[in-house]
Amino acid sequence: MSEGRDIYHELPQKVLLRTADVYQTNVDNGVVGYSDTLLAIVANFKNNGIPEGANAQSMVGKSKRGEVAFRLFARINPETRIIEAAGFKTRGCLAMTGCASAACAMIEGKTLDEALTITTEDIRTAVDGVPANKANTLTFAVEAIRALVGDFWVRSGASLAELDAIVPCDTYSVACLMCEHCSLRDIRTDLLMADWDDEEAAQPVIAGGEQA
């Protein structure tokens, strides 16, 4: 009988195949296509990092064909639900940094409900547009705000049903599909798994130790 394949040990030599997806294939061409407003925001932003007393955060972005990520942090008054301070960390292009900074400035002083009304067009207006191939950064800015609100409510004890009512999500929407990474999606998954675990634990046990 021939010797079977050894599936338990690493081969001494491995061939690594690389595709375009593992590289930054969309390279910025300096500042071509960026508005003066956006460049001024990038050059002068002061809301980077985590604000003191932050009690909510979120992250959205993508990895394929160049990493673009936006982490949003905020200090939210638990009684008034007003966003008192916001800050960010980004990776990727100038457009993401500009949109992130603009989003932070726009949500400060707003209630959570007011923050949820901010649209991609609002962000676009605030930065005076982004290059056509950077339009996803507008979506990331809005989705990060939504995820931030969701994070705050879940930390405050909201259930999955309550979260769905406050920050509804369409998993087949363009915005959702654009976000390869989304902390709000992860939160929903965690809550769903917790609900399943609770339902399983609540099942009556029959003779023999098996659940009904």
Domain with 171 in it:
34-192
Q: How many CB atoms are located within 10 Å of the residue 36 CB?
A: 9
- Whether 19 maps to a domain, the answer reads no
Whether residue 178 contacts residue 139, with contact meaning beta carbons closer than 8 Å, is answered with yes
Q: Decide which of 169 and 111 is more confident.
A: 111
In the chain, how many domains are there? 1
Residue 40 sits in a domain whose CATH number is 3.90.1010.10
For residue 172, the number of C-alpha atoms closer than 13 Å in the C-beta half-sphere is: 0
- The predicted structure's pLDDT at residue 18: 47
Give the pLDDT band of residue 7 (cuts 50, 70, 90): very low
Confidence of residue 210 (pLDDT cuts 50, 70, 90): low
Least confident stretch, 92-106, 117-131, 149-163, 175-189: 175-189
Of 212, 206, 64, 60, nearest to 147 by C-alpha is: 60
Residue 132 maps to a domain:
yes
> Does residue 1 lie in a domain region?
no
Query: Is residue 21 domain-resident?
Result: no
Q: Which tens digits make up the pLDDT trace of 57-88?
A: 999 999 887 889 999 999 999 999 999 999 99
Q: pLDDT averaged over the chain? A: 85
Q: What is the pLDDT of residue 177?
A: 84
Task: Specify which of 34-43, 165-174, 189-198 reaches the highest per-range mean pLDDT.
Answer: 34-43
Task: Answer yes or no: is 204 within a domain.
Answer: no
